[in-house]
Amino acid sequence: SQTIHQWPATLVQPVGSPLSLECTVEGTSNPNLYWYRQAAGRGLQLLFYSVGIGQISSEVPQNLSASRPQDRQFILSSKKLLLSDSGFYLCAWSGLLGGIIPEAFFGQGTRLTVV
Amino acid sequence: AQSVTQLDSHVSVSEGTPVLLRCNYSSSYSPSLFWYVQHPNKGLQLLLKYTSAATLVKGINGFEAEFKKSETSFHLTKPSAHMSDAAEYFCVVSDYGGSQGNLIFGKGTKLSVKP
Protein backbone atom coordinates (compact mmCIF):
# COMPACT_ATOMS: atom_id res chain seq x y z
CA SER A 1 0.00 0.00 0.00
CA GLN A 2 1.02 3.58 -0.50
CA THR A 3 2.36 5.57 2.42
CA ILE A 4 4.04 8.91 2.87
CA HIS A 5 6.40 9.84 5.66
CA GLN A 6 7.16 13.39 6.62
CA TRP A 7 9.35 14.54 9.49
CA PRO A 8 9.77 16.12 11.91
CA ALA A 9 6.23 16.80 13.13
CA THR A 10 7.20 19.98 14.93
CA LEU A 11 10.27 22.16 14.74
CA VAL A 12 11.42 25.34 16.45
CA GLN A 13 14.32 27.07 14.76
CA PRO A 14 16.06 30.42 15.33
CA VAL A 15 16.08 33.10 12.66
CA GLY A 16 19.01 32.67 10.31
CA SER A 17 19.39 28.94 10.90
CA PRO A 18 19.14 26.39 8.05
CA LEU A 19 16.16 24.14 7.43
CA SER A 20 15.74 20.67 6.00
CA LEU A 21 12.38 18.90 5.91
CA GLU A 22 12.25 15.45 4.37
CA CYS A 23 9.43 13.54 2.77
CA THR A 24 9.58 9.98 1.48
CA VAL A 25 6.92 7.84 -0.16
CA GLU A 26 6.47 4.08 -0.37
CA GLY A 27 4.39 1.80 -2.51
CA THR A 28 4.53 3.80 -5.69
CA SER A 29 6.97 4.76 -8.39
CA ASN A 30 7.45 8.01 -10.27
CA PRO A 31 4.93 9.96 -8.19
CA ASN A 32 4.30 13.68 -8.51
CA LEU A 33 5.48 15.25 -5.26
CA TYR A 34 4.44 18.55 -3.68
CA TRP A 35 5.35 20.89 -0.85
CA TYR A 36 2.63 23.16 0.50
CA ARG A 37 2.71 25.80 3.21
CA GLN A 38 -0.09 27.08 5.36
CA ALA A 39 0.59 30.29 7.24
CA ALA A 40 -1.49 30.99 10.35
CA GLY A 41 -5.13 31.58 9.39
CA ARG A 42 -4.45 31.07 5.68
CA GLY A 43 -5.16 28.39 3.09
CA LEU A 44 -2.67 25.94 1.63
CA GLN A 45 -0.17 27.53 -0.73
CA LEU A 46 1.71 25.41 -3.26
CA LEU A 47 5.45 26.00 -2.91
CA PHE A 48 7.07 23.39 -5.15
CA TYR A 49 6.12 20.39 -7.20
CA SER A 50 8.17 17.74 -8.92
CA VAL A 51 7.25 15.32 -11.68
CA GLY A 52 10.55 13.41 -11.58
CA ILE A 53 14.07 13.15 -10.18
CA GLY A 54 15.82 16.50 -10.35
CA GLN A 55 12.73 18.21 -11.81
CA ILE A 56 11.50 20.97 -9.55
CA SER A 57 8.96 23.67 -10.34
CA SER A 58 8.67 26.66 -8.02
CA GLU A 59 5.32 28.34 -7.69
CA VAL A 60 6.23 31.15 -5.33
CA PRO A 61 9.62 32.93 -5.19
CA GLN A 62 10.86 32.90 -1.61
CA ASN A 63 13.50 31.92 0.86
CA LEU A 64 13.05 28.21 0.25
CA SER A 65 14.29 25.59 -2.19
CA ALA A 66 13.39 22.00 -2.93
CA SER A 67 15.30 19.00 -4.23
CA ARG A 68 14.41 15.51 -5.37
CA PRO A 69 17.55 13.40 -5.16
CA GLN A 70 15.67 10.11 -5.48
CA ASP A 71 12.37 9.11 -7.06
CA ARG A 72 10.59 8.81 -3.72
CA GLN A 73 12.33 11.54 -1.75
CA PHE A 74 11.47 15.22 -1.69
CA ILE A 75 13.37 17.70 0.47
CA LEU A 76 12.47 21.26 1.42
CA SER A 77 15.38 23.47 2.47
CA SER A 78 16.40 26.93 3.46
CA LYS A 79 19.87 28.35 4.04
CA LYS A 80 18.66 31.06 6.44
CA LEU A 81 15.21 31.01 7.96
CA LEU A 82 13.10 34.15 8.29
CA LEU A 83 10.35 34.80 10.81
CA SER A 84 7.89 34.75 7.91
CA ASP A 85 8.83 31.13 7.16
CA SER A 86 6.84 29.99 10.18
CA GLY A 87 3.86 27.85 9.27
CA PHE A 88 2.55 24.40 8.60
CA TYR A 89 4.39 22.53 5.82
CA LEU A 90 2.73 19.64 4.08
CA CYS A 91 4.19 17.09 1.70
CA ALA A 92 1.92 15.30 -0.76
CA TRP A 93 2.14 12.91 -3.66
CA SER A 94 -0.19 12.10 -6.48
CA GLY A 95 -0.10 9.42 -9.11
CA LEU A 96 -2.14 6.88 -10.99
CA LEU A 97 -3.22 3.93 -8.87
CA GLY A 98 -3.06 0.80 -10.98
CA GLY A 99 -2.00 3.02 -13.83
CA ILE A 100 -5.56 4.30 -14.19
CA ILE A 101 -7.08 6.02 -11.18
CA PRO A 102 -5.68 9.35 -9.93
CA GLU A 103 -4.83 9.07 -6.25
CA ALA A 104 -3.32 11.40 -3.67
CA PHE A 105 -1.76 11.00 -0.26
CA PHE A 106 -0.59 13.57 2.26
CA GLY A 107 1.98 13.59 5.00
CA GLN A 108 1.09 14.54 8.54
CA GLY A 109 2.75 17.91 8.18
CA THR A 110 5.51 19.81 9.96
CA ARG A 111 4.68 22.77 12.16
CA LEU A 112 7.65 25.12 11.92
CA THR A 113 8.08 28.01 14.32
CA VAL A 114 10.91 30.43 13.62
CA VAL A 115 11.92 32.40 16.71
CA ALA B 1 -7.31 24.17 -16.98
CA GLN B 2 -7.82 22.49 -13.64
CA SER B 3 -9.39 24.41 -10.81
CA VAL B 4 -11.22 23.84 -7.56
CA THR B 5 -13.66 26.34 -6.11
CA GLN B 6 -14.94 26.07 -2.58
CA LEU B 7 -17.87 28.41 -2.74
CA ASP B 8 -17.93 29.42 0.93
CA SER B 9 -14.90 30.48 2.94
CA HIS B 10 -16.88 30.19 6.17
CA VAL B 11 -19.99 28.21 7.09
CA SER B 12 -21.72 28.43 10.47
CA VAL B 13 -24.35 25.92 11.61
CA SER B 14 -26.03 24.99 14.87
CA GLU B 15 -25.33 21.67 16.51
CA GLY B 16 -27.74 19.02 15.24
CA THR B 17 -28.51 20.80 11.96
CA PRO B 18 -27.34 19.67 8.50
CA VAL B 19 -23.98 20.62 7.06
CA LEU B 20 -23.37 21.50 3.40
CA LEU B 21 -19.91 22.46 2.18
CA ARG B 22 -19.80 23.21 -1.52
CA CYS B 23 -17.07 22.35 -4.00
CA ASN B 24 -17.03 22.82 -7.76
CA TYR B 25 -14.20 21.67 -9.98
CA SER B 26 -12.94 22.06 -13.50
CA SER B 27 -10.99 19.26 -15.13
CA SER B 28 -10.27 18.16 -18.65
CA TYR B 29 -9.89 14.55 -17.60
CA SER B 30 -11.54 12.01 -15.34
CA PRO B 31 -10.66 13.34 -11.91
CA SER B 32 -10.46 11.86 -8.48
CA LEU B 33 -11.88 14.09 -5.77
CA PHE B 34 -11.15 14.23 -2.08
CA TRP B 35 -12.35 15.97 1.04
CA TYR B 36 -9.88 16.54 3.85
CA VAL B 37 -10.45 17.99 7.29
CA GLN B 38 -7.92 19.92 9.35
CA HIS B 39 -8.58 20.55 13.01
CA PRO B 40 -6.71 23.43 14.65
CA ASN B 41 -2.97 22.78 14.82
CA LYS B 42 -3.39 19.33 13.31
CA GLY B 43 -2.51 17.66 10.00
CA LEU B 44 -4.89 16.75 7.20
CA GLN B 45 -7.25 13.84 7.70
CA LEU B 46 -8.96 12.16 4.75
CA LEU B 47 -12.75 12.24 5.09
CA LEU B 48 -13.66 10.56 1.84
CA LYS B 49 -12.67 10.21 -1.80
CA TYR B 50 -14.24 9.59 -5.18
CA THR B 51 -12.16 7.60 -7.67
CA SER B 52 -14.58 6.70 -10.50
CA ALA B 53 -16.60 4.12 -8.57
CA ALA B 54 -19.96 4.90 -6.90
CA THR B 55 -20.90 8.56 -7.24
CA LEU B 56 -22.25 8.75 -3.69
CA VAL B 57 -19.31 8.36 -1.37
CA LYS B 58 -19.59 7.75 2.35
CA GLY B 59 -16.75 8.82 4.58
CA ILE B 60 -15.82 8.91 8.21
CA ASN B 61 -17.74 10.66 10.99
CA GLY B 62 -21.05 10.56 9.11
CA PHE B 63 -19.92 12.68 6.16
CA GLU B 64 -20.79 11.89 2.59
CA ALA B 65 -20.38 13.53 -0.80
CA GLU B 66 -21.93 13.07 -4.21
CA PHE B 67 -19.98 13.38 -7.44
CA LYS B 68 -22.16 15.09 -10.05
CA LYS B 69 -20.37 15.23 -13.36
CA SER B 70 -23.10 17.27 -15.08
CA GLU B 71 -22.79 19.96 -12.41
CA THR B 72 -19.03 19.49 -11.90
CA SER B 73 -19.69 19.42 -8.17
CA PHE B 74 -18.59 17.36 -5.19
CA HIS B 75 -20.43 18.86 -2.23
CA LEU B 76 -19.82 17.52 1.28
CA THR B 77 -22.80 16.89 3.54
CA LYS B 78 -23.65 15.61 6.99
CA PRO B 79 -27.19 15.21 8.33
CA SER B 80 -26.46 16.46 11.84
CA ALA B 81 -23.52 18.62 12.89
CA HIS B 82 -21.54 17.89 16.03
CA MET B 83 -19.38 20.33 17.95
CA SER B 84 -16.33 18.23 17.07
CA ASP B 85 -16.94 18.90 13.37
CA ALA B 86 -15.71 22.47 13.78
CA ALA B 87 -12.60 22.58 11.58
CA GLU B 88 -11.35 23.60 8.16
CA TYR B 89 -12.31 21.48 5.19
CA PHE B 90 -10.43 21.21 1.91
CA CYS B 91 -11.68 19.91 -1.43
CA VAL B 92 -8.89 18.47 -3.60
CA VAL B 93 -8.82 17.37 -7.24
CA SER B 94 -6.35 14.95 -8.76
CA ASP B 95 -6.34 14.14 -12.45
CA TYR B 96 -3.97 13.42 -15.33
CA GLY B 97 -3.00 16.88 -16.41
CA GLY B 98 -2.49 20.48 -15.40
CA SER B 99 0.50 22.74 -15.01
CA GLN B 100 0.84 22.19 -11.28
CA GLY B 101 1.46 18.50 -11.53
CA ASN B 102 -2.01 17.12 -11.11
CA LEU B 103 -3.08 17.98 -7.55
CA ILE B 104 -5.17 21.07 -6.87
CA PHE B 105 -6.43 22.28 -3.48
CA GLY B 106 -9.45 24.43 -2.86
CA LYS B 107 -8.92 27.44 -0.60
CA GLY B 108 -10.74 25.78 2.27
CA THR B 109 -14.02 26.27 4.12
CA LYS B 110 -13.99 26.95 7.82
CA LEU B 111 -16.91 25.26 9.56
CA SER B 112 -18.16 26.70 12.85
CA VAL B 113 -20.68 24.78 14.96
CA LYS B 114 -22.77 26.71 17.49
CA PRO B 115 -24.19 24.96 20.57
Q: Which residues of B touch A108 (CB under 8 A)?
A: 43
Average pLDDT score over residue span B65-84: 95
pLDDT digits over B13-48, tens only?
999 999 999 999 988 777 889 999 988 877 788 899
Indicate yes or no: CB of B103 within 8 angstroms of CB of A104.
yes
> Residue A99 contacts by C-beta under 8 Å, 6 or more apart in sequence?
none
CB pairs under 8 A between A and B: 61
**Distance between A84 CA and the closest CA of chain B, angstroms:** 18
Provide the pLDDT for residue B98.
52
**Number of residues assigned to chain B:** 115
Region of poorest pLDDT, from B10-14, B48-52, B86-90: B48-52
Provide the pLDDT for residue B94.
82
**Distance between B77 CA and the closest CA of chain A, angstroms:** 21
Which is higher by pLDDT, B88 or A27?
Answer: B88
Which chain A residue shows the shortest CA-CA distance from B95?
A: A102
Mean pLDDT, all residues of chain B: 89
Which chain B residue shows the shortest CA-CA distance from A58?
A: B100
115 residues of chain A, pLDDT tens digit each: 778 899 888 999 999 999 999 999 988 778 889 999 987 767 788 899 998 999 998 887 678 999 999 999 999 999 999 999 999 999 998 877 776 777 788 888 999 999 9
Which chain A residue shows the shortest CA-CA distance from B32?
A: A102
Tell me B95's DSSP state: -
Q: Which helix (H) or strand (E) holds A83?
A: none
Q: Is the pLDDT of residue B101 over 80?
A: no
Provide the pLDDT for residue A3.
83
**Distance between A14 CA and the closest CA of chain B, angstroms:** 21
The rounded percent of chain B whose pLDDT value lies above 90 is 63
pLDDT digits over B48-64, tens only?
999 877 899 999 999 99
Which of the residues A4, A49, A56, A105 would you substitute to probe the B interface, choosing the one with the greatest number of B C-beta atoms within 10 Å? A49
- How far are the Cα atoms of A6, A61, A89, B23, B56 from residue A47, in angstroms, in the given order? 16, 8, 9, 23, 33
Whole-angstrom distance, CA of residue B98 vs CA of residue B28 = 9
